[in-house]
Amino acid sequence: MSDLAELEKQALAELNSSSDETGLRAWHSKYFGKHGAIPAAVKKVSEVPPAERRAYGQEANRIKEGLIKAYEERQQKQSETQLARELQSDALDVTLPGRPIRRGRLHVATQDMRRITAIFADMGFQVYRSREVEDDLTNFELLNMPPHHPARDMWDTFHTTTGGVLLRTHTSPGQIHVMRECCPKPIRVILPGMCFRYEAITTRSEIMFQQVEGLAVGENVSMTDLKGTITAFARRLFGNDRKVRIRSSYFPFTEPSIEVDMDCLVCAGKGCSLCKGTGWLEIMGAGMVHPVVLKNGGYDPSRFSGFAFGMGVQRISMLLYGIDDIRYFWANDLRFLNQF
């Protein structure tokens, strides 16, 4: 019996002095393992004289139960202190200032595209997105330019290795797509997007550039509507006292065709270096939709008429900000881009 008391005392002392998980595990296998002290003590019941056996057995069991309970409590406490320690050492200071994220911005072309879109949206024009890869048929033929038509010279073209498939040289083929989709309903849309031309890159021309095409089709759409629309647009974008003039021009897909000029932003018509002394700046090509094109779009030209215009977005930005070289737009130079 005194052996048992001694065993209990020693086991409890060792348990209370083991402070980490490894210590606890070692304690458990020392006392409760296969060859542990407790199973050994319980086994000894058979060696005890019969008269004391019952009491010894009861005492051995009491000690065993007690130690198991003490061990579990100790284990519980140890994981709690462990958790508290980890929470303290890995604490996150939520009051530290964050690392600032450098904010990007919209490219000047995107900004201006959105301004232009917003102005036309106010006048009831919807945006129609049209493909950048076209076929010869839609980019040229259906716009009243059969193969070998001399006007094709105005649009130097990137052809793909698939015959007849090319990068669109203007947004005008979108007119065909939108007309075929909407006919015979009236149309009032703009068609913004990238265009491509196989050209020498200079301060005035790039091999890729954006255009905004406009198209209105309906009954009684007239040249007056075209002029009014363009004038309203120019005044919204460039200032209320802008004047607009139209000159006759030629495009195969409009009849009559016009070129639209705006009085010079800088000198208001007196003549300066921006307008090269003329007092006027060219802003877009336009005209009344050619009957052949209306027909190709599914509209009866004896009932319907329409106007169309097309402007180069980068040219417009150049006028707005006094940019003198179109190559800046896609050169990816932050010194240029950060200014907008």
263, amino acid identity: D
With beta carbons less than 8 A apart as the criterion, state whether 56 and 48 touch.
yes
With beta carbons less than 8 A apart as the criterion, state whether 37 and 31 touch.
yes
Q: State the number of binding residues for ligand PHE (CB under 6 A).
A: 11
Spatial separation of the C-alpha atoms in residues 142 and 136, rounded to whole Å: 9
Q: Residue 233 interacts with ligand PHE (CB under 6 A)?
A: no
- Alpha-carbon Rg for the chain in angstroms: 43
Assigned token pair, 191: 């068609």
Q: What is the DSSP string of 13-32?
A: HHHHH--SHHHHHHHHHHHH
In the complex with ligand PHE, the residue whose CB is nearer, 67 or 191, is 191
Q: Residue 213 interacts with ligand PHE (CB under 6 A)?
A: yes
Q: How far is the CB of 172 from ligand PHE (least distance, A)?
A: 4
At 212, give phi and psi (nearest 5°). Answer: -120, 115
Residues 310-339 close enough to bind ligand PHE by CB under 6 A = 310
Options 108, 119, 178, 308; binder of ligand PHE; rule CB under 6 A: 308
Closest-CA residue to 123 (of 271, 232, 253)? 232
Q: Residue 125 interacts with ligand PHE (CB under 6 A)?
A: no
Q: How far is the CB of 272 from ligand PHE (least distance, A)?
A: 26
Spatial separation of the C-alpha atoms in residues 45 and 247, rounded to whole Å: 121
Q: Residue 285 interacts with ligand PHE (CB under 6 A)?
A: yes
Options 309, 315, 318, 326; binder of ligand PHE; rule CB under 6 A: 309
Q: Residue 287 interacts with ligand PHE (CB under 6 A)?
A: yes
Q: How far is the CB of 251 from ligand PHE (least distance, A)?
A: 4
70 membership: H or E segment, kind and range: helix 50-89
Q: Which stretch binds ligand PHE (CB under 6 A): 74-82, 216-224, 305-313, 328-336?
A: 305-313
Residue nearest ligand PHE by beta-carbon distance: 310
Q: How far is the CB of 129 from ligand PHE (least distance, A)?
A: 17
In the complex with ligand PHE, the residue whose CB is nearer, 28 or 170, is 170
In the complex with ligand PHE, the residue whose CB is nearer, 57 or 291, is 291
At 109, give phi and psi (nearest 5°). Answer: -65, -40
Contacts with ligand PHE, 160-199, as mask; x by CB under 6 A: ----------x-x---------------------------
Q: Could you tell me which residues come within 8 angstroms of residue 48 by beta carbon, excluding any fewer than 6 positions away?
A: 56
Could you identify the residue written with the tokens 């921006």? 274
Q: Residue 263 interacts with ligand PHE (CB under 6 A)?
A: no
With beta carbons less than 8 A apart as the criterion, state whether 67 and 38 touch.
yes
What's CA 227's distance to the chain center, in Å? 36
In the complex with ligand PHE, the residue whose CB is nearer, 41 or 283, is 283
Binding site for ligand PHE (CB under 6 A): 170, 172, 213, 251, 254, 285-287, 308-310
